[in-house]
Structure 1
Amino acid sequence: MDIAKKVKLENKMGIMPINKLIINMSLPLITSMFVQAFYNIVDSLFVARINEEALTAVSMSFPAQNLMISAGTGVGVGITALIARYLGAKDEKGVTRVVHNGIFLGILNSILFAIFGLFFAKFYFEFQKASGLIETYGIQYLSICSIFAFSIILEITFERMLIASGKTIYTMITQSTGAIINIIFDPIFIFGLLGFPKMGIIGAAVATIFGQTVAMLMALYFNIKKNHEVRFAIKKFAVHFKTIANIYEIGFPSIVMQSAASFMIFQLNNLLASFSTTATAVLGVYFKLQSFVVLPVFGLNNSVISIVSYNYGAGKIKRLLKAVKLANIYAFGIMFAGFVLCQTLPVPILKLFDASDNMLSIGIPALRIISFAFLIAPFSIVSSGTFQALGKGIFSLIVSLIRQLIVILPLSYLLAGIMGINGVWIAFPMAEIVAGILTIFYLKKLYQNEIMKRKIKRHK
């Protein structure tokens, strides 16, 4: 039987040549992530044209928005790994339980963020010492995004179901459509074009929610109509606490990772504000630019989690190892390109955001210094995905906390006191070096204690 016929009889993750499989599954995700990253930048460009206060307000909102994404992504990572593993083991009931309880968790998380948006947005900005226009803009923007958080959280949930079964082309369509809608309606709602009222910063939030809601509905439609390996038997829905525990056992590290990133940005905003509000805006611009490099790597990593989980469940260790190796090579290539751009073109990049002379003086060294982290980060990111796929979320959690909290924050404060603002930027690559060393240790441990045992067991 040739490969083409085998692929039709078995999920492609278990039979398609690995290099072709990674390209086949990750290219749609990488493409959609590029579009999403492009939206992140374009959105900030439009907001920057309101004024620098608006850009600073959106930058301060980023940690809270990142928490919403972390809630969706954490559950999504658990869903992806479990569905892929159950598909590899041919356990249809297990797949259905994960689908039902994943949706339940998505709805529950959405309610919690709506409460935050209604009652705690003002406190959030007061805690960051925001005042005047920055506080007003921030409350307006973040309240809307939080109250309608269901759009992004459930979008992620439904897209992860598509990824888990290898239907990444549909994820590309949903994410790209949502981002394109956002890009189109951003200037219309912000500046009052085509007969729409001029809404300013509120328009940016409305455009965001509109795009996310369309993407969510499309992802739901594709699951119902195209994803025959995932079934929505709503009448048979039941909360299954063991399944919820399994989802969080795998996905909790992702929640902590992104939450740690939110806390890190929150604290860095406070630290940088002691230098100037422009420094805070620079950090916000950096994270928008970083998304253009990191999000595609996450797209690649999402597909690799499914591939590794499936082949681990099916006992195909050789395919698993090859997938991890190729993923590291591709991830490094993507982030090296980002490193080159930040080193050679910092001025044109910053001027896209209407950077003042003060912003350029802070931003140019910031981009050049922080981008050295891009040379090490892909290894830790891909390895963290591998840990999650194999059910070793605690390894992923520790590495991510090293990268985004335990090392970077104390080091930022220490170096800022010694070297000034550039000390904050130097802390980024130094944290990646420490995380990379720890990742090597965990990979060796995982290979010896899990992968080799699985390999030996299969050959008995």
Structure 2
Amino acid sequence: MSFNNVSPSVEAVKKDTFFSVLREALAGTERDFTKGSIPLALTILAIPMILEMSMEALFAIVDTFFVAKLGAAAVAVVGLTESVLALVYAVAMGLSIGATATVSRRFGEKDFDGAARAATHVVYLGFVVSLVMGVIGVVFAGDIYRLLGAGEDVLAIGLPFMQIMFGTSAVIVFLFLLNGIFRGVGDAAIALRVLVVANGLNIVLDPLLIFGIAFFPEMGVTGAAVATVIGRAAGVVYAGWALFGRSIGRLQVRAEHWKLDTGLLWSISRLSGTGVLQLLVTTATWSVLVTIVAVFGSVAIAGYQIGLRIFVFLLLPVVGLANAAAALVGQNLGAGQPERAERSVWIAGGSAAAILGSLGIFFVLFSNLLVSLFTTDPEVARYGSDCLRIIGYGYAFYGLAIVTESAFNGAGDPWTPTYINAIVLWLIEIPLAYVLANSYDVGPQGVFWAITISFSIWTVVAVALFKRGKWKLKVV
């Protein structure tokens, strides 16, 4: 593969307009991201990645929208299953950390055969992990529901739903893994198309299979699971075709790249395993915080969940920017340009902090208005508004934290953010949340303050470790 005549000169960069950059970002590019303007590279990569994150968030929203018409028990099924599937998502995203770090490093080295071999071994790893999770989910679906406190009405309609979702967890794993490969080589536009295919089919099939429209069977809440699985499977098929079939992207995979290399498989497994641990620590933290809020009743939980959903949804642009920074870090380290990799992170981090800092000001001033879009209950609105307002004070820190975490992961150093997560979230955030909420009569707002304080500490620690530069020496 050659990058002749695709690396932009300074003059060429100056001629780029907003619409030409947008067109290039969405259509795909052969641009060499180890050269040229860093802000331009971040923009071209981040635009499709931001849209990709939004597409991923649509799955649960669409399912909940249609299932809500079936009643409270059906909504509970989707909610409970999604809370358990968060573990599957954590595993899938953790695995994709290893995929992106390894593939981007090889691609930056211009070792395209090495990048292709890494891609095939990521697939091997995905098969093993998804098989284990699928079997566990199908066999123990009922026990999982009972553990979560589901009633018999929920269990009766929810068991097939969870068995289908868990039994086909491979489509979730491969959706994240294959898109992690595309992001690693800079094919963010293809990763976006994969989610467009998956979401488009899910949106069409959801009402048809849930309500039995036309000649489709009426499957109720189970239809939502079937529609989601078919949509995701279609996305995986398209991704596989793009990567291993037609090879329409920047990476060319051939038959010889499938030869098993146990050393490579072990290397990717170690990186991915640490990434999984990192995500599980974070996921478990949010679960514990919910239990602390739950002591104050369902109204407090509802307000917290509304505030948190708004908070997380508006993080998506920065998550896309962070993924772009991770890809640039991996490729530039592979190209022997650690200083360019570092500049990419500071530019992305500064942009993320500015974006979320502006949103944070909006949260502080207009949290009541935002929350009122989701509830008319004054008590729920009060808790939700407090959650957004208090989190808003530290929102700029979240931006820099997300980018820094992704930078460590992109450099093949997932252990550093994992250590920070374990220490700050479990030794500071959770104890602080409990003490503030219960010992100082602050109530649920104590949990909100603990989140803001701990993430501010997380950011300071992460930036200090990032500036030391040991991540530049990581061998992947």
TM class, shorter-length? 0.7 to 0.9
| 1:367 CA displacement | 2.9
Q: Report the alpha carbon displacement of residue 403 of structure 1 after superposing the two structures with TM.
A: 5.5
| Alignment map for 1:203-222 (pairs within 5 Å) | 203-222=223-242
Q: 1:416 to 1:450 in 2, by over 3 A?
A: closer
Q: Which amino acid aligns with 2:460?
A: I
Paired position in structure 2 for 1:433: 456
Residue in 2 that maps onto 1:458: none
Within 5 Å, which residues of 2 pair with 1:197-236? 197-224=217-244, 225-227=246-248, 229-234=250-255
Match for residue 26 of structure 2? Answer: none
Matches within 5 A, 1:137-148: 139-148=159-168
- 1:391 matched to which residue of 2? 412
Per the alignment, do residues 321 and 444 of structure 1 end up closer, same or farther by CA in structure 2, a change over 3 Å counting? Answer: closer
Matched residue, 1:379: 400
Residue 366 (1) aligns with residue 387 (2): yes
CA distance in 2, matches of 1:302, 1:269: 27
Distance 1:194 1:33, change over 3 A: farther
Any conservation in 2 of the 1:305–1:389 contact (CA below 8 Å)?
yes
| Change in CA separation of 1:450 and 1:349 when aligned onto 2, cut-off 3 Å | closer
Q: By how many angstroms is 1:111 displaced?
A: 0.9
Distance 1:273 1:207, change over 3 A: farther
Kindly indicate whether the alpha-carbon contact (under 8 Å) linking 1:279 and 1:362 is maintained by their aligned counterparts in 2. Answer: yes
Q: Which of residues 303, 310, 314 is equivalent to 2:324? A: 303
Give, as a single letter, the amino acid of the residue that structure 1 aligns with 2:39. N
1:312-363 CA deviation, whole Å, 9 max, x = no partner?
1212234222211221123224434543554455556555556645533433
Aligned twin of 1:457: none
TM superposition shift of 1:96: 3.0
1:103-114 matches, within 5 Å, as 103-114=123-134
- Structure 2 residue 468 is the aligned partner of structure 1 residue 445: yes
State the secondary structure of the residue aligned to 1:90: coil
Letter in 2 for 1:301: A
Return the match for 2:42 from 11, 17, 22: 22
State which of 76, 83, 86 in structure 1 corresponds to 2:103: 83
Question: Which one has more relative contact order, counting CA pairs under 8 Å at least 6 apart?
Answer: 1
Return the offset for 1:45: 4.0
- The letter of the residue matching 1:399 is I
Structure 2 residue ranges without an equivalent (≥5): 9-28
Q: Say whether the 8 Å CA contact 2:175–2:235 is kept in structure 1.
A: yes
Encode CA deviations 1:179-218: one digit per residue, 9 max, x unaligned.
2333344344444545645544333323322221121111
2:177 to 147, 157, 179: 157
Residues 55 and 281 in structure 1, CA contact (< 8 A), matched pair in contact too: no
Write out per-residue CA displacement over residues 39-96 of structure 1, whole angstroms, 9 at most, x where no aligned residue. 5444444444544554454443334222212222222221211112112223244223
Instruction: Output the amino acid matched with 2:344.
Output: A
Report the TM-score when normalising by structure 2: 0.83
> SS of the counterpart of 2:46?
helix
Task: Name the CA distance, whole Å, in 2 between partners of 1:131 and 1:237.
Answer: 47
Q: Structure 1: 5+ residue runs without aligned partners?
A: 455-460
Residue pair 1:167, 1:227 contacting (<8 A) in 2 also:
no
Query: How many angstroms apart in 2 are the aligned matches of 1:308 and 1:409?
Result: 32
Q: How does 1:62-211 map to 2 (within 5 A)?
A: 62-134=82-154, 139-194=159-214, 196-211=216-231
C-alpha change, 1:106 and 1:285, in structure 2 (3 Å) is farther
Asked if the contact 2:187–2:250 (Cα under 8 Å) also holds between the matched residues in 1, the reply is no
Match of 2:447 among 401, 406, 424: 424
Q: Give the counterpart of 1:268 among 251, 269, 289.
A: 289
How far apart are the structure 1 equivalents of 2:226 and 2:120? 29
Aligned-partner SS, 2:402: helix
- Counterpart AA for 2:38: I
Residues in 2 aligned to 1:385 and 1:280: alpha-carbon distance in whole angstroms: 30
Instruction: For residue 150 of structure 2, give the secondary structure of its aligned residue in structure 1.
Output: coil
CA contact (8 A) 1:372 1:429 kept: yes
| One-letter amino acid of the structure 2 residue matched with residue 275 of structure 1 | F
Distance 1:61 1:344, change over 3 A: farther
Aligned-partner SS, 1:15: coil
Structure 1 residue 435: deviation in Å?
Answer: 0.7
Match of 1:322 among 339, 343, 367: 343
RMSD across aligned positions (CA): 3.1
Please tell me the residue identity of whatever aligns with 1:311: N
Q: Closer, same or farther in 2 for the Cα pair 1:342/1:130, shift >3 Å?
A: farther
Shift of 1:170: 0.9
User: Do the aligned partners of 1:60 and 1:266 also contact (CA within 8 Å) in 2?
Assistant: no
Per-residue CA distance 1:153-178 (angstroms, 9 max, x = gap):
11112112221211111111111332
By how many angstroms is 1:439 displaced? Answer: 0.9
Q: Is the 8 A contact 2:97 2:271 kept in 1?
A: yes
The amino acid of 2:447's aligned partner reads: V
Q: Percent identity?
A: 22
For residues 77 and 65 of structure 2, what CA distance do their matches in structure 1 show? 13
Q: Is the 8 A contact 2:52 2:191 kept in 1?
A: yes
Structure 1 runs, 4 residues or longer, greater than 6 Å off: none
